[in-house]
Chains A and B, each alone.
Chain A
Amino acid sequence: QQQLQESGPRLVKPSETLSLTCSVSGASISGQEYFWGWIRQPPGKGFEWMGSFYYDGTTYYKPSLQSRVSISAEAAKNQFSLRLTSVTAADTAVYYCAKHAGAAAGHPLDLWGQGVLVTVSS
């Protein structure tokens, strides 16, 4: 059974870096089958796709976040991570990791983690 689980600090100070990890079970992030991504949802608002990556290093980021966001993989642990620098209160959101249904970032997101609320506050 495939599962995703987000982990990381729930509180981040303004101007600091938000770091989250997604632990994957039941599928390999090193395989050629899927893209993997991060999506966030500010409280009471809609979803914002942040970026997705493939095992070969191919990465897509939302253009408006590109200067602040990076996604990386730790294949040995079957985990991938999100880093968002210079955070502000506007980055307060529930952060989800997800799996695309195939080997393209345009494929639908068919498996999601439960999400983790990260609050940016001093």
Chain B
Amino acid sequence: QSVVTQSPSVSGAPGEKVTISCSGQISNIGDNYVDWYQQLPGTAPKLLIYSDTQRSSGVPDRFSASKSDTSASLAISGLRSEDEGDYYCATWDHSLSGLYVFGTGTKVTVL
């Protein structure tokens, strides 16, 4: 089980805003950048956000992220049907010998 936890699921109607939370520890989120990945059904994951708040090339500004202490969040505003999928936060953890750790994942459902 991951040391970085996320809300299991969120849902919203088209056009609404949803927020996904990601909670960790000092050794991971507290001391390192957070990245966010989007996995649409049946596809490989795609880097959505890196370095806490930076959108990857081509990612619409409907996606935004923030971080505070040992928690991070991803917001999707103007929710669209094509946003339905799984979202994962991830970060480096400098405990032990170091490892890249993924959050538990959040399923976004567009009602």
Contacts and interface: CB of A to CB of B under 8 A. Distances in A.
A46 B100 contact: no
Interface of A: 37, 39, 46-49, 52, 60-63, 96, 101, 105-106, 108-110, 112-115
Given A49-B101, A63-B97, A105 B47 contact: no
Given A63-B99, A106-B33, A108-B35, A46 B104 contact: yes
Nearest to A112: B44
The 6 A-B pairs at the shortest CB distance, nearest first, are namely A106-B92, A108-B35, A108-B50, A49-B100, A47-B102, A46-B105
B104 to A, nearest CB: 6
Nearest to B45: A112
The number of chain B residues touching the other chain, given as a range, is 20 to 34
Nearest to A100: B100
Contact of B97 (A60, A96, A114): A60
Contact of B50 (A60, A63, A110): A110
Contacts of A37: 100
Given A52-B100, A60-B98, A96-B44, A46 B92 contact: no
A108 B37 CA distance: 9
Interface string B92-110: 1000111111111100000
B2 interface: yes
A42 to B, nearest CB: 12
A63 B56 contact: no
A109 B103 contact: no
Nearest to A94: B44
Nearest to B34: A108
Contact of B100 (A96, A105, A112): A105
Interface in B18-35: 32-33, 35
A47 B102 CA distance: 6
Contacts of B98: 60, 105-106
